[in-house]
Amino acid sequence: MTRQYFGTDGIRGTVGQAPITPDFVLRLAHAVGRVLKKTQKRPVVLIGKDTRISGYMLESALESGFNSAGVDVVLLGPLPTPGVAYLTRAQRASLGVVISASHNAFADNGIKFFSAQGTKLDDAWELAVEAALEEAPVWADSANLGRARRLDDASGRYIEFCKSTFANDLTLRDMKLVVDAAHGAAYQVAPNVFHELGAEVSTIGVSPDGLNINKNVGATHPEALVAAVTAQQADYGIALDGDADRLQLVDASGRLFNGDELLYLMVRERIERGEKPVGVVGTLMTNKAVEIALRKLGIEFVRAKVGDRYVLEELEKRGWLLGGESSGHLLALDRHTTGDGIVSALQVLQACQRSGKTVAELLSDVVLFPQTMINVRLRPGQDWKGNAALAAETRRTEAELGDAGRVLIRASGTEPLVRVMVEARDREQADAFARRMAATLED
């Protein structure tokens, strides 16, 4: 079956337009509640959110929908997505719900779910919810309605969890950090985590007003952090996105490190501690240089589809622990069940403190290949997969690149576009090959 509402990370869209409307979200919660009630007599659901103004409205709709199905609700308030995942597991709840559109602007919002184990739910569960949405509601009577309460100090509990993932014999006392919380869910949590581990912390992106989440700050706009780190002569800058599940890091020179590089660093740190990983999962977009560097360490590397959900599925299938995306979604399943920007940052800083080296020094043997991506807009009905000229040009380019690069052609999931990406050791070569291939589609 094809999912009608769920995408790769829950349900997301523009607030006030289907499906992100209060009436639909109430129906959604009622349907989820009915699915839970099939296997549990009295389910308990945790609800957290980011700082968007629409979060209040959607929180109320979710609360009403769950209560109407006889499901109890625990409200967490603003909390990072991985914080909700952690507390769902720690509180032995039936389900965790996050109201967030992650790195999107404030006009969007979304609903995503975590299992009782703090993991993303599978396609079968989502299809069961969509089937329940098609059924008539079954409202609980007054005696069987769910109840709602607020969990005291949800943020404090999550802060302690984050700190527990950092080595007990290390501190951050000699580090000066700039933390950019994107005016999002981690605006209170993130600075406290690093401060309580000993770092000198200054902040940007910690003044949410409901409308400014991800606006010119955070992991999707790291230039603000680069400027702050340089101006304040900090050792590192840590940029999170609106729901704090992705990370970008900046060093004292203003150099920005992406998720591919940080994933490699996390692998190296475990090897140096004698915990050699069997394998690592990246995505179709992971830089070729990281793949080559991992293989030199004797680490198997495989690629999943773009999306941390697919990285997690591949890790679980293989029984591996480490994976991630270039965007900064990093998974360390020996630390958390889901991607966590704060925990990932702590793993990177732990590597620096343990080795006495900077991030740049730890990554000295990894030089990312230049990537060129060209978006080609498709004409109505255009069959790019059957384009013989593109296929021939792809074979020619791959032959010329050999092991020194790669080609990736994929359709956009949201627009009538084909993305043509070429990686090569030389920037001009990557540009030339990408233009050559894109021209076969444009012609």
108 within some domain: yes
* 42 and 122 both lie in a single domain: yes
**148 and 17 part of one domain:** yes
One domain for residues 193 and 131? no
pLDDT at 3 over 90: no
Do 265 and 350 fall within a single domain? yes
355 is catalytic: no
CATH number of domain containing 407: 3.30.310.50
Considering the candidates 64, 102, 326, 344, report the single residue annotated as catalytic: 102
d(CA 215, CA 339): 22
Q: Report if residue 2 sits inside a domain.
A: no
Q: Look at residue 291 and tell me if it is in a domain.
A: yes
Residues 20 and 147 in one domain: yes
CATH of the domain at 78: 3.40.120.10
> In terms of domains, do 356 and 393 share one?
no
Strand partners, 202: 178
CA distances in angstroms from 108 to 19, 28, 105, listed in the order given: 11, 17, 6
Predicted local distance difference test score (pLDDT) of residue 403: 86
Least confident of 67-76, 331-340, 410-419: 410-419
Does residue 3 lie in a domain region? Answer: no
- Please count the structural domains in the chain: 4
In a domain, 5, yes or no: no
Co-location of 131 and 173 in the same domain? no
Q: In this structure, are 133 and 30 located in the same domain? A: yes
Question: What pLDDT, in 10s, does the model give residues 76-106?
Answer: 999 999 999 999 999 999 999 999 999 999 9
Label residue 413 by pLDDT band (50, 70, 90). low
**pLDDT of residue 257 exceeding 90:** yes
Do 24 and 146 lie in one domain? The reply is: yes
Query: Is residue 126 included in any domain, yes or no?
Result: yes
Mind listing the pLDDT tens digit for each residue in 307-363? 888 999 999 999 999 999 999 999 999 999 999 999 999 999 999 999 999 999 999
Identify the pLDDT of residue 1: 60
Let me know if residue 81 belongs to a domain.
Answer: yes
Least reliable range by pLDDT among 151-165, 183-197, 391-405? 391-405
Q: Say if residue 152's pLDDT is above 70.
A: yes
pLDDT, the chain, mean: 95
In a shared domain, residues 226 and 101 = no
Domain boundary among 230, 254, 278: 254
pLDDT band of residue 306 (cuts 50, 70, 90) is confident
- Which of the listed residues 191, 225, 254 is the one where a domain comes to its end? 254
Angle (deg, nearest 10), helices 388-401 and 427-442:
170
What's the pLDDT at 414?
A: 63
pLDDT at 2: 74
Exposure string of 110-120, with b = 16+ CB inside 10 Å and e = fewer, is bbbbbbbebbb
Do 54 and 162 fall within a single domain? no
Q: pLDDT tens across 14-56, in order?
A: 999 999 999 999 999 999 999 999 999 999 999 999 999 999 9
Is the same domain home to 148 and 281? no
Cβ(326)–Cβ(286) under 8 Å? yes
pLDDT of residue 167: 96
| 270 within domain boundaries | yes
> Where among 254, 283, 302 does a domain terminate?
254
**Domain encompassing residue 217:** 157-254
